[in-house]
Amino acid sequence: MEAIEIFAHNPGPMTGAGNHTYLIPGRRTVLIDAGTGDPRHLDAVDRELSARGRRLDAVLVTHAHGDHASGAGALAARWPEAAFFKYPSPARDGKYPAPWQPLADGDRVRAGDGLLTVVHTPGHAPDHVAFWDEAAATLFCGDLAVLGSTVVILWSHGGSVTQYLASLERVLALAPQRMLPAHGPVIEDPRALLLAYRAHRQAREDQVLDALARGCGTIPEMVAVIYPDLQEALRPMAGESVHAHLVKLLDEGRVAQDGERFAPVRDPLPRSLSGEAR
């Protein structure tokens, strides 16, 4: 299906050059991601619609972060007939009022003259979905991947390394030929990027375990060792990432927590010393 990239006009420290949204024209004209409501974005959507004699029928949002969802209200005001869809996020959806209808994993959504399949891909955010155009082997991947960068997993915003790794595996299994992201250039070799992300998370986890083994017990101590040259302003963000990795290790029983301190859990007893080997 045809996808027209439309810039959301929201450059900033968290969005880089700003977000891409994608207009899919056809019998049911759909916009993927809502941007932030910048009038230049709305006007650009309007121009593309007018050029094709279409109206906006639906808006599909990848997740409830402001740069993807906060423009929904402005779009709803300009195109009152449009329907709005996202995977429910009870904690955050109220922040971005629009007549949201729920998406579920595996839903098939009409878009343009074809179909998109909803792929729930939590990790960056609990409600993150990607949209799979099977006919073109193209994935609208939201914030699952950003070429030239890694994806931020903010523990305090519901980010989960365990879920993110599972989402990477899920998308690897789809074997997309192309991914259209919300940030950065089109991803022409998704497999290479997804494998690099997997390796990056493993390397980061190894660094966290190494810092723990060297006696760093608190998140600020670990950040100081893992990111020695990081500027002060970015340290809280790095702490969020370390925390997200610690939660995975806690879930796996490989790390224990006591208040603000973390410690590695010793390897289980070798079999020769355990009851099983009597």
Q: Which residues bind Zn ion (CB under 5 A)?
A: 65, 143
- Least CB distance from residue 158 to Zn ion, whole Å? 11
Question: How far apart are CB 63 and Zn ion at their closest, in Å?
Answer: 6
Residue with tokens 């079999």, as numbered in its chain: 271
Q: At closest approach, how far in Å is the CB of 160 from Zn ion?
A: 14
Which residue sits closest to Zn ion, CB atoms considered?
A: 65
In the complex, the smallest distance separating the C-beta of residue 244 from Zn ion, rounded to whole angstroms, is 14
Whichever of 15 and 207 has its CB closer to Zn ion, that residue is: 15
Q: Rounded to an integer, what distance in angstroms lies between the CA atom of residue 158 and that of residue 169?
A: 20
Q: Which is nearer to Zn ion, 61 or 216 (CB)?
A: 61
Residue pair 2/30 in contact by the 8 Å Cβ criterion: no
What angle, rounded to 10 degrees, do the helices at 161-174 and 235-251 form? 80
Min separation Cβ 8 and Zn ion, Å? 13
Task: Give the nearest distance from C-beta 228 to Zn ion in angstroms.
Answer: 27
CA-CA distance, 260 to 187, in Å (whole number)? 39
Smaller CB distance to Zn ion: residue 64 or 246?
A: 64
Of 241, 257, 68, the C-alpha closest to 160 is 241
Question: 198-219: buried (b, 16+ CB within 10 Å) or exposed (e) per residue?
Answer: eeebeebbebbeebbeeebeeb
Pick 65 or 243: Cβ nearer Zn ion = 65
CA–CA separation, 121 vs 169, rounded Å? Answer: 10
Q: Which is nearer to Zn ion, 143 or 205 (CB)?
A: 143
- Which CB, 25 or 142, lies closer to Zn ion? 142
Between CA 149 and CA 163 the distance in angstroms is: 19
Closest approach, Cβ 140 to Zn ion, in A, equals 14
Give the residue with the Cβ less far from Zn ion, 92 or 216: 92
Q: CB-based contacts of 13: which residues, under 8 Å, 6+ apart?
A: none
Neighbours of 145 (CB within 10 A): 28
Q: How far apart are CA 108 and CA 116, in angstroms?
A: 6
